[in-house]
């Protein structure tokens, strides 16, 4: 049986949303998520803990995940006026 990951409480709501979606897609560990996002696991742990997400790192994550530029800077889909959780996110390749 696979361990259940702890809920993500990132200070960036879009990062938390992205990580939750990645967990559902099979990237359930911090290591797997950091590899897929192209950033060190320690850095991802810090961003989840509330460290500010630098603009250049955000743009790199968006590029790796095929998201529009600035997507990580917006409100979480649950907080957006439309409320569409898939808006701005592309299906995995």
The tens digit of pLDDT for each residue in 40-88 reads 999 999 999 999 999 999 999 999 999 999 999 887 766 654 444 444 4
For position 39, what pLDDT does the model report? 96
Cα-Cα-Cα-Cα torsion 12, 84, 59, 43, nearest 10 degrees, comes to 30
Q: Over 50: is that where the pLDDT of 7 sits?
A: no
Q: Is the pLDDT of residue 90 over 80?
A: no
Is the per-residue pLDDT at 1 higher than 60? Answer: no
pLDDT at 32: 97
Burial readout 49-82 (b: 16 or more C-beta within 10 A, e: otherwise): eeeebeeebbbebbeebebeeebbeeebbeeeee
């Amino acid at each position: 049986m696979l361990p259940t990951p702890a809920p993500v409480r990132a200070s960036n709501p879009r990062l938390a949303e992205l990580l939750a979606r990645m967990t559902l897609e099979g990237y359930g560990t911090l290591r797997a998520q950091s590899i897929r996002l192209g950033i060190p696991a320690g850095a991802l742990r810090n961003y989840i803990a509330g460290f500010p997400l630098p603009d250049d790192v955000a743009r790199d994550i968006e590029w790796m995940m095929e998201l529009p530029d600035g997507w990580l800077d917006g409100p979480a889909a649950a907080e957006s006026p439309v409320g569409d959780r898939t808006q701005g996110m592309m299906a995995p390749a």
